[in-house]
Structure 1
Amino acid sequence: MKPVGTDTTVGFIGIGVMGKSMASHLLEGGFSLNVYNRTKDKAKELIKRGAHWCDNPGKVASDSDVVITIVGYPSDVEQIYLGDDGILHHLSPGNIAVDMTTSSPQLAARIYHKAREKGVAVLDAPVSGGDIGAKEGKLSIMVGGDEDVFNAVMPIFSLMGKNIVYQGSAGSGQHCKMANQIAIASTMLGVCESIRYAEKAGLDPGTVLETIASGAAASWSLSNLGPRIINGNFEPGFYVKHFIKDMRIALESSEEIGLSAKGLALAKSMYEELAEQGGENFGTQALYKNYL
């Protein structure tokens, strides 16, 4: 495994709402950057700033020392890593791949073991903090895999996040992210209900938010998404459709470990109702619309 330094070439696959900002921090940090996204237009700004465009994930892998992926669904992760032309076929022994998608813990472990057979190191490192955390380089990064690989990749992680924690063996990062999403799911119910209650009670919701956000009700969702709700801003920092995917994975994982996640199940059903009404591409704060 090569030491990670400014002479390391990093590949980045997935230039979405969060990926674009994350990749941007790597450019600012002095890394040579190869990029790929299914829609090239989303990578144009990075390309203008010096990133090198690759026509497919395999090219990213063959031309990079460390490859980062952050895509939509576990099926995308599986295809990119384990497909007939997946990146594991193109990474050289000693190279590193880091999947930062919120995905299945079981899939993460499977990819890890397949990669080891080829002499490639893999970390599962999902993130939390939404578009704001990505833009500010303050994401929480939850990492599973080999600890020496985690330590090696820290110069890259430190450009994208502030709370970077090694969780344990392969799949542990994804398990931690499931715990994170379970906490957010029920919290968003409370945030939306709270704001709607304040409105129906005839209060100024902004004043209420200012009051309760610094007390026992404080949460990231309340402070960061509450103002968006009040301002009628339902643009995605994180898509409803992707949150439903995360909750589905969390419910499946909960069942495997013997947990009845009742709050999570309720939140998932409400988000699915929102999606059925055309809200799948809104941000998660759009759950408020269920209370109108």
Structure 2
Amino acid sequence: MSSAVQAERIGFIGLGIMGQSMAGHILAAGYEVHVFSRTKEKAEALLEAGAVWHDTPASLARVCTIVITMVGYPHDVEAVYLGDDGLVPNMAPGGLVIDMTTSQPALARRIHAQAAERGIAALDAPVSGGDVGARNATLAIMVGGDEAAYLRALPLFQVMGKSIALLGGAGAGQHTKMVNQIVIAGTIVGVAEALSYGAHAGLDLEKVLGVIGGGAAGGFQLNVLGKRMSEGDFAPGFFVHHFLKDMGIAASEAEAMGLDLRGLQTALHQFGRFAEQGGRECGTQGIFTLYQQQGQGAGPSADGDE
């Protein structure tokens, strides 16, 4: 590791299902890592491995040269970045902040502008790949912002992901993530409908997946999450309530563009129904149970294994 890289002190805020693994990869790569999370227990493994705990984002910001965030909702992002105890008011000029949360493009642009006024660079860099991608350091990372900031952050991105690109200026990363989520929205509903059909037809879903997963229908949503559906494994790799948030942002952006995206609206409706029935904390593959309620199929019950 070069002396320039060794000089970077990395902060990481948000240690959920994905954030813990992402911060762990940075720590394992030899960086000095400082962490904050609303629940300190989530940081225990990282602290045991050498990370440094901070009680507030402000405390972390004051000692770090680069800070990465992976939090929940746009209001969390806004508070962490722009609140009095947040990153932008408390970080020294020359710093770099990287929001890897899926959030609103307009908020990403606002953070970029306010950070620039204080001499701080900012990137929006949402990711795709879920718990598996975070754990295996194979995330897709979609980046918006300035090229110089991107090149500075690239060594960090490379220890967390495999498919990495600068897509444009501030907000471009978030817009690209909306493209990603619109694809997933239609695909995951299609997988749930297809496997429900197969179950109600009396087919062995494991055999079905083994055949069609190697053909044109194959992909992460079918081969990984479809397998979890067939096994009744609805534990969260990506929470339903976070997916609803993402689809809501995508729908709002699409409406502002004058687009009528029926597939996205269908997925948003179906996941909304599932959440109302108690599925908010399930993984997105839990949508399968909504379809299984329609008949006496061979698939898992709505209770799953949560």
TM-score scaled to structure 1, two decimals? 0.98
Q: Distance in 2 between matches of 1:230 and 1:74?
A: 33
What is the alpha-carbon root mean square deviation over aligned residues? Answer: 0.9
Q: Map 1:97-176 to 2 at 5 A.
A: 97-176=97-176
Q: Distance in 1 between matches of 2:259 and 2:80?
A: 31
Unaligned residue ranges in structure 1 (runs of 5+) = none
The answer as to whether partners of 1:22 and 1:137 remain within 8 angstroms in 2 is yes
Partner of residue 249, structure 1: 249
The 3-state SS of whatever aligns with 1:15 is coil
Q: Distance in 2 between matches of 1:231 and 1:221?
A: 14
Q: Distance in 2 between matches of 1:20 and 1:13?
A: 10
Partner of residue 71, structure 1: 71
The answer as to whether partners of 1:73 and 1:245 remain within 8 angstroms in 2 is yes
The 3-state SS of whatever aligns with 1:235 is coil
Partner of residue 299, structure 2: none
**What code does the residue aligned with 2:31 have?**
F
The 3-state SS of whatever aligns with 1:33 is strand
**What code does the residue aligned with 1:231 have?**
E
**What code does the residue aligned with 1:13 have?**
I
The answer as to whether partners of 2:70 and 2:101 remain within 8 angstroms in 1 is yes
Partner of residue 40, structure 2: 40
Which runs of 4 or more aligned residues in structure 1 lie more than 3 Å from their structure 2 counterparts after TM superposition?
A: none
Partner of residue 298, structure 2: none
Cα deviation 1:257-281 (Å, max 9, x = unaligned): 2211111111011111111111100
Q: Does 1:81 align with 2:88?
A: no
Q: Distance in 2 between matches of 1:227 and 1:6?
A: 42
Give the direction of change, closer, same or farther, for the CA distance of 1:4–1:212 in structure 2 (3 Å limit): farther
Length, aligned pairs only:
290
Q: Distance in 2 between matches of 1:59 and 1:164?
A: 30
Shift of residue 7 of structure 1? 2.6
Q: Distance in 2 between matches of 1:4 and 1:69?
A: 22
Q: Please, which moves more after superposition, 167-176 or 253-262?
A: 253-262
Q: Map 1:259-274 to 2 at 5 A.
A: 259-274=259-274
Q: Please, which moves more after superposition, 83-92 or 44-53?
A: 83-92
Cα deviation 1:183-239 (Å, max 9, x = unaligned): 000001110111111111111101101111111111211011111111110000000
Shift of residue 84 of structure 1? 2.1
TM-score scaled to structure 2, two decimals? 0.93
Shift of residue 4 of structure 1? 5.4
Shift of residue 109 of structure 1? 0.5
The 3-state SS of whatever aligns with 1:5 is helix
**What code does the residue aligned with 1:175 have?**
H
**What code does the residue aligned with 1:211 have?**
V
Partner of residue 302, structure 2: none
Partner of residue 20, structure 1: 20
Shift of residue 136 of structure 1? 0.3
Among the aligned pairs, what percent are the same residue? 49
Q: Distance in 2 between matches of 1:151 and 1:4?
A: 13
Shift of residue 148 of structure 1? 1.3
Partner of residue 281, structure 1: 281
The 3-state SS of whatever aligns with 1:234 is coil
